[in-house]
């Protein structure tokens, strides 16, 4: 059964894939939709390890104050992820270790610092009522999943329409993606459409900055998720620090490391 369920446990997957919201590479001339998409995919996956400090801001309609959740995500390779929550006070000390998409460990500081293994096959629709889905963050590349078509060329961006390939599964059957021409093939905007062509959500990425460290890697300072179905309910992700290829050791990704908080 295709799933798109809302479970906060999957936050770890969500947060851990924050590093995928990046771009790298050079602004090469691209002529076809497939070429543009390929360059975009390359830009998103160009790192060995990545450390991001982020704040998620969840804004309820009509409310000025947003709920804030702060966390650090350390990623290495395709699978290894460690997430530590640094705020608010209630969440501070909690953490996750992701072994793979289906298995993770959670640290429960209030229960004698216990670590529990969580087996999950559930995709997250949202974390803490946010508008970002697991698919938003976990999709590391579009090539091979979507068929691209160049539908417009704007002054600063190519607009690709991506249609889900037969036999492939994703939350949205059709996407419209804006790829910036000037800044290293960054995806600056994604619109998600349902099978009837109705726009369901929009993701806007702004203020790309080159990450600290040894690599050509760019992270958007702000990502805004808007769910139009929820009357434009909004979630923002603010990345305050991004470091790439700093030589994160493998033993960071162990249960013991999780438990000891180091």
Binding site for another protein (CB under 8 A): 1-10, 58, 60-62, 67, 90-91, 94, 103, 106, 108-122, 126-130, 194, 196, 198, 200, 228-233, 255-256, 259-260
In the bound state with another protein, the residue whose beta carbon lies nearer, of 67 and 149, is 67
Taking the CA of residue 7 as centre, how many other CA atoms within 13 Å lie in the half-sphere pointing to its CB? 13
Closer CB to another protein, residue 22 or residue 107?
107
Closest distance between another protein and the C-beta of residue 169, in Å?
12
Using alpha carbons only, what angle is made at residue 121 by residues 118 and 122, rounded to the nearest 5 degrees? 100
> Of 168 and 241, which has the nearer Cβ to another protein?
168
Peptide bond into 259 cis (omega under 30): no
CB of 206 to another protein, least distance (A): 22
> Which run of H or of E encompasses 154?
none
What count of Cα atoms within 13 Å lies in the side-chain half-sphere of residue 2? 8
Q: Are 159 and 177 in contact (CB under 8 A)?
A: yes
**Judged by CB, which is closer to another protein: 48, or 103?**
103
Beta bridge partners, 190, equal: 177, 203
- What is residue 99's three-state secondary structure? strand
Q: Smallest distance, Å, CB 31 to another protein?
A: 35
**Which residue number, 90 or 154, has a Cβ lying nearer to another protein?**
90
Please say which residue, 31 or 196, places its beta carbon nearer to another protein. 196
Helix (H) or strand (E) holding 15: helix 11-16
Cα–Cα distances (Å) from 131 to 55, 66, 201, 224, 235, in that order, read 14, 13, 9, 9, 6
CB of 196 to another protein, least distance (A): 8
State the nearest-atom distance from the C-beta of 243 to another protein, in Å: 26
Closest approach, Cβ 117 to another protein, in A, equals 4
Q: Find the angle CA(209)-CA(227)-CA(136) to the nearest 5 degrees.
A: 50
């Amino acid at each position: 059964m295709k799933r798109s369920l809302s479970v906060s446990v999957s936050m770890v997957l969500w947060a851990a894939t924050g590093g995928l919201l990046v771009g790298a590479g050079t602004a090469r001339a691209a002529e076809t939709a497939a070429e543009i998409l390929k360059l975009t995919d390359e830009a998103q996956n160009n790192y060995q390890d990545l450390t991001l400090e982020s704040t998620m801001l969840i804004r309820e309609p009509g409310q000025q104050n947003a709920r804030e959740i702060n966390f650090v995500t350390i990623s290495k390779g395709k699978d290894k992820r460690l997430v530590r929550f640094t705020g608010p006070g209630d969440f501070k000390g909690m953490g996750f270790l992701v072994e793979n998409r289906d298995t993770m460990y959670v640290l429960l500081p209030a229960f004698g610092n216990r670590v529990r293994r969580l087996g999950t096959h559930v995709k997250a629709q949202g974390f803490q009522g946010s508008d970002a889905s697991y698919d938003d963050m976990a999709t590391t590349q579009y090539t091979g999943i979507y068929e691209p078509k160049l539908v417009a060329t704007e002054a600063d961006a190519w607009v690709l329409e991506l249609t889900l390939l037969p036999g492939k599964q994703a939350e949205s059957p059709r996407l419209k993606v804006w790829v910036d021409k000037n800044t290293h093939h960054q995806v600056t905007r994604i619109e998600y459409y349902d099978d009837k062509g109705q726009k369901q959500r929009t993701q806007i990425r702004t203020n790309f900055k080159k990450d600290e460290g040894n690599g050509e890697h760019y992270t958007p300072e702000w990502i805004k998720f808007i769910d139009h179905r929820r009357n434009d309910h909004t979630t923002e992700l603010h990345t305050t620090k991004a470091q790439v290829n700093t030589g994160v050791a493998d033993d960071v990704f162990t249960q013991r490391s999780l438990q000891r908080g180091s």
